[in-house]
Amino acid sequence: MVREVTIMKRSIAVLWVFTLLFIVQTTAGAAVTLRIQSINKKITLTYGIDSAVEITETITVKHRGDATPFFITFSAGQSGSFESRELSATGSSDSFNYQLYDNMVNKNILKDLTGATTDSDVLAGFFPMSSGWQSLTVSYVFYMPANQFVGAGKYGDSVEVKLYESTLSSAVVHDNETVSFEAQMDTIAEVSLVNTGMPFNPLQTELLFDFGILEAGESFSGDIMVRASALFTLSLQSGNRGVMANTDRSDSSIVPYEFIFNGSSVDLTGNRPIDVLIGAGPSDVNGLRYPFSVIIQPYGMATEGTYEDTITVTVSTR
C-alpha cells in the first residue's frame, strides 16, 4: 500500500508541472510587426508667385501584435535646419523656402530624433493589440509661402521619413522611406506701369499722362516696373514715331516730346520696337524699378486740338 501511494504522488506532481508550463506559454508576449504601408514618395508642383502652396499628404502604417505606440519623424533635408527647409536647384544660388507641418492649425514643425523633444514634433499614433493586420493613416502638410521669386527652373529637396515603435526616449526604428519634393518655377516676365515710387502691381499695365493745355517744358514722370524670372529684354515703341499727333488725322500738326528712360534719352522715331534694356533676372518679388519721363518740346504753330501718342512697353525673356 505504501508503494502505491508513492506512485500516486509522483503522478500528481508531473501533472502540476505540465499545467504550469501550459499557462506560462499562453501568456507570453506576441511579436510586433510595424511597417509603412503607403506613402507618396515624390511630391511635385508648379509654384505661383502670388499664392502660397499647401499640400496635405498621408502616410498609412500597418501593424500586428501587441498594443503599440508609434511615431514618424522627418529629417531636416539638405539645408540641415528644421526651421528653414529649402528647395534648391543645381548650379544656382537661388532656393525656395518650405516647411513640413503636422497641420495648418497648430503648425508644429516636424523633425527627426536629433531635434524632436515632444510628441508635437512628430506624427504619433497608437495600435491596440491584434493578431491580424490593422492600419492607421496619419497626415502632414507641405507648405511654401507666397511671394518667393527665384530663377526659372526645377528646385528640389528630399527628407528621410522613419517609423518608430514606443516613445521618443525609447525609440525602436521599424521602417524608413525617402520622400522628395520638387517645385517648378516657370519663366515669368511681367511689367507694371506705375506713378513714381508706387509698388509693383501686376494689374497696373496702363498709365495715362494728361497734360491739359500743352506748354513746352511740361513733363510727367513714372516708373516701369519689371518682374522676371530669367534674363529679359525691355523694349519701347511709339505709335506715332516719337511725337504726339492730332487726333484729327486730316491735320498733320504734331507736338514733339523727349522720352527719357532710366536717365537716358530714347529715340522713338523708328517704326519698330527699340530695346532699351537687357536685364539679368531673376528680379525679386517686388520687381525692378526703371524711372522714365516725358518732356514736351517746342511745337511751333501746331493747330488747336487734341494730341496723343501711345508708347508700348514690352518685356520678353531671353
30-185 shares its CATH topology with 189-317: yes
Mean pLDDT score of the chain, rounded to an integer? Answer: 90
Each domain of the chain, given as residue ranges in start order, spans 30-185, 189-317
C-alpha cell at 133: 493586420
Specify the pLDDT at position 30: 56
Q: What is the pLDDT of residues 221-253, one digit of tens each?
A: 999 999 999 999 999 999 999 999 999 999 999
Q: Which residues pair with 155 in a beta bridge?
A: 183
Exposed, middle or buried by CB within 10 Å (0-12, 13-18, 19+), for 240?
middle
Specify the pLDDT at position 199: 96
Q: What is the DSSP string of 189-226?
A: EEEEEEETTPPP-TT--------SS--TT-EEEEEEEE
Band the pLDDT of 91: cuts 50, 70, 90.
confident
Specify the pLDDT at position 90: 87
How many CA within 13 A on the CB side of residue 219? 11
User: Which class is domain 30-185?
Assistant: mainly beta
- CATH of span 189-317: 2.60.40
**What is the C-alpha to C-alpha distance for residues 12 and 312, in angstroms, rounded to an integer?**
109
**What is the C-alpha to C-alpha distance for residues 229 and 190, in angstroms, rounded to an integer?**
9
Q: What is the pLDDT of residues 127-141, one digit of tens each?
A: 999 999 999 999 999
**What is the C-alpha to C-alpha distance for residues 43 and 41, in angstroms, rounded to an integer?**
7
Helix residue spans in the chain (DSSP H):
2-26
Q: What is the pLDDT of residues 46-71, one digit of tens each?
A: 999 889 999 999 999 999 999 999 99
